[in-house]
Structure 1
Amino acid sequence: MQSLPDVARSRFGSWATNVQLPPGPRVPGLKATEHAYLYLKNLIVTLQLPPQTIVTETEVALAADVSRTPVREAFLRLQSEQLLDLIPQRGAMVPAITLRAIQEQAVTRVVLEGYGVDWVCTHRVPVAERLHQLVDEQRSIYDDDPERIVDMVTVDKEFHWTLIKATGNTEFAQLYNRLHDRQLRIGIAMFQAVPPRRCTAIEHHLEIANAIETFDLPAAQRLLKAHLVGSLPEVSGIFTN
């Protein structure tokens, strides 16, 4: 039987695989290019297309019910967002999820979300009620089914996004939003590879929400940093560079 690290390495960055693409029925009124882009991005972000899977324009076109031209445009757009690596004459490969990518994103989020926490506590922005609602929602999903990982991570990201939105800074929010899809993808991968993380994330969120409720900036900053980077030693034995 493979160990968790072996399974994680095979799923998140050790070898290329080919998978059967699920059908992606066209949405009425949605342009073919946008449909191909959203269809493929969803498969990548939710890990329905595992890291290092190779896909071709023809395969995606057939599954998404579009011609190859919209797929080619979707490939280029996803490449610009670091969600696909183009391979000449072969198609495209879903990037591996590496330890370095996880580390770099965690550090970046500490800086960006740390500013959000600073703003909320310094200006006493009333976001605690919303944060507690999201904690309850995430816990409800976990209690219903711990395997509802995509739903849990979606709420998880909304919790952190709330801190960014509270600043009221549009430029800052747009900067943070550039991380969204890769952040979601990494979050799902970590919840899959480290199941206890699903529960501890909820507890961390509760502690952060409690600190923000009293506008305790030092505590909120400390808890946020521990939440974002504290799991790095744990995943260092699972994900590789």
Structure 2
Amino acid sequence: MNQIHDTASARFGGWTTSTTLPPGVRDPSVTAADHAYRYLKDLIVTLELPPRAIITESEVATATGVSRTPVREAFFRLHSEKLLDILPRRGAVVPEITLRNIREQAETRLVMEGHGVERICAERIMVTDELLRLVEEQRTVLNEDPNRIVDMIRIDKEFHWTIVKATGNTEFAQLYNTLHDRQVRIGIAMFGAVRRRPCDAIDEHAHIAEALAEFNVDEALERLKYHLIGSLTQISGIFTN
């Protein structure tokens, strides 16, 4: 990930790739299937396995030290989460990240997070201190090392998760949380593809938090929409449809 800005055009262009998998050390308390699943998911979500990377059961089995049966289970589990596409008799391929993927997730999040904003403002729920703490934490990471993209995105996710869980609706929160892994993956891709995106995103978070501090629902919703939808203009020429 240290060279993510330099390789952004390669990651998201029309290309295929072969990948050497890093070794995965298994915790004895974790089943073989869970180990293979967690190992692969982490590589996919963090883009260490980039879009269009092709992997085989035997390659993953060798890297993780388990048999092919639990690897096959991991493949199908990741496929059900839209993090892997099965290639019959060939293995699997990491899905592309397209402009459509990003736009559809942004629109979905706007509906769900917008509901959180409305509840926070209507019920005057105090979340500002936590949001501003996360803004400063994210800014500190950026200032210390701009290449710590994965860390920044995990804080980014926590910022938005704080808005959603403030509703107190556990069903709603669980539904939103199903987006987690794809949300992190897309966030890492966007931060890596546009050099100024991390700084812009942090500033936009601060504006959202400030509007919520005043319980200004119209301003907060507008700021959220700009953050989620307006940011698409920065990446429209990088990701394909």
Q: Given the two structures, how large is their TM-score scaled by the length of structure 1?
A: 0.96
The answer to whether the 8 Å contact 1:5/1:237 transfers is: no
**Letter of the 2:63 counterpart:** A
2:25 is the counterpart of 1:25: yes
**Whole-Å Cα distance in 2 between the matches of residues 129 and 209 of structure 1?**
9
Partner of 2:99: 99
SS at 1:231 equivalent: helix
2:210 is the counterpart of 1:222: no
**Letter of the 1:38 counterpart:** R
**Whole-Å Cα distance in 1 between the matches of residues 95 and 13 of structure 2?**
8
SS at 1:92 equivalent: strand
For structure 2, the 5+ residue unaligned runs are none
Among the aligned pairs, what percent are the same residue? 61
Partner of 1:163: 163
**Aligned-residue offset at 1:5:** 11
The answer to whether the 8 Å contact 2:138/2:202 transfers is: yes
**Aligned-residue offset at 1:7:** 5.4
**Whole-Å Cα distance in 2 between the matches of residues 61 and 35 of structure 1?**
11
Partner of 1:50: 50
2:98 is the counterpart of 1:85: no
Deviates more, 1:177-186 or 1:4-13: 4-13
**Whole-Å Cα distance in 2 between the matches of residues 32 and 5 of structure 1?**
35
Q: Given the two structures, how large is their TM-score scaled by the length of structure 2?
A: 0.96
**Whole-Å Cα distance in 1 between the matches of residues 216 and 28 of structure 2?**
49
CA root-mean-square deviation: 1.5
**Letter of the 2:70 counterpart:** P
The answer to whether the 8 Å contact 1:131/1:162 transfers is: yes
The correspondence of residues 60-209 of structure 1 with structure 2, limited to 5 A, is 60-209=60-209
CA 1:6–1:236 in 2, change beyond 3 Å: closer, same or farther?
farther
Count, aligned residues? 238
Kindly provide the CA deviation profile for residues 161-214 of structure 1, in whole angstroms up to 9, marking residues without a partner as x: 001111111110111111110010000000000010000111011111111111
For structure 1, the 5+ residue unaligned runs are none
**Whole-Å Cα distance in 1 between the matches of residues 234 and 214 of structure 2?**
31
**Aligned-residue offset at 1:145:** 0.3
**Whole-Å Cα distance in 2 between the matches of residues 85 and 71 of structure 1?**
14
**Whole-Å Cα distance in 2 between the matches of residues 217 and 79 of structure 1?**
38
**Letter of the 1:109 counterpart:** R
